[in-house]
Structure 1
C-alpha cells in the first residue's frame, strides 16, 4: 500500500493483493493534433498543477519505429506572458514591450528588489498603455 493513497487498503482482494496498472508508454500523435488545432508554437507544462515548468516545443520528429519525439526548450515565464500580451495589442508596440519584459526578466535573476519593481512598473505601463490605445480608451501615446 502507498501512504499517499489512504483508501487503497479497500482494494485488497481475497489474497491480500492490490491490482495496479502501470502505464509506462502510450503513443500519442502530437503533430497531427497540433495541425488540426491550428497551434504554431505549442507550450507544454511539466509538473503538477501548483509546481510546474513551462517548455516550448522547438521541433517534432518521428523515430524509425513511429514514435513522436519532441525537442523542448525551457521557457522563462515572462516569455509566455509576452506571447499572450502581443495578441491583444498593435504590432507596432511589440518591440518596446518585448524589450521591457526582457529587461525585467534579466533583472529578476540578477538585480535587487528596487530594480525589479522599477522594471515591472515600466513593463506594466507599456502593456496597459498599448492595450488602452488599441481599445480606444486613450489617444496617441509615446512608449
Structure 2
C-alpha cells in the first residue's frame, strides 16, 4: 500500500495531528464508500463527508444523509462547478441527538466566478446515524 502522503488528499481538508492532509480513504471515503457499515461518528464528520460528496457529485450519498423530513426528491449539480476548499468554523454538539456545524465552502462556477457559502447547518442523530437537516446562510 502506498504511503499516506502518496494517496490523494480528501477534499474536505481534514488533517492529522502533524497537520498533514488525510487521504480520502482514511477520511470521508470510509463514510461515503461504506455508508451502510460506517456511519459518520459526529455531525462535523458528516458535514465534511457531505462536502466531499458535493465535490465528487455523489447525489446518492447526499440524499441518503439528508434527514427524511427535509430531503429533496432529487439533487442536481451545476455543470462546471469546482469546489475549492472547506473551512469548518465551529462544531457545536447541542445534546446527544442535535448538533450544529458552521462552515465556509468556496467554489468557482462555470464562468470562473468565485463564491463563498457560509452556513450554519443543523444535524439530527436518529438510530445511531447523523443526518443533515437544513442550514441557515450567514
Scaled to the shorter chain, the TM-score interval is: under 0.3
Q: Rg: which structure is higher?
A: 1
Compare the two structures and name the one with the higher helix fraction.
Answer: 1
Relative CO higher for 1 or 2, CA cutoff 8 Å, sep ≥ 6? 2
TM-score calculated relative to the size of structure 1: 0.27
Compare the two structures and name the one with the higher strand fraction.
Answer: 2
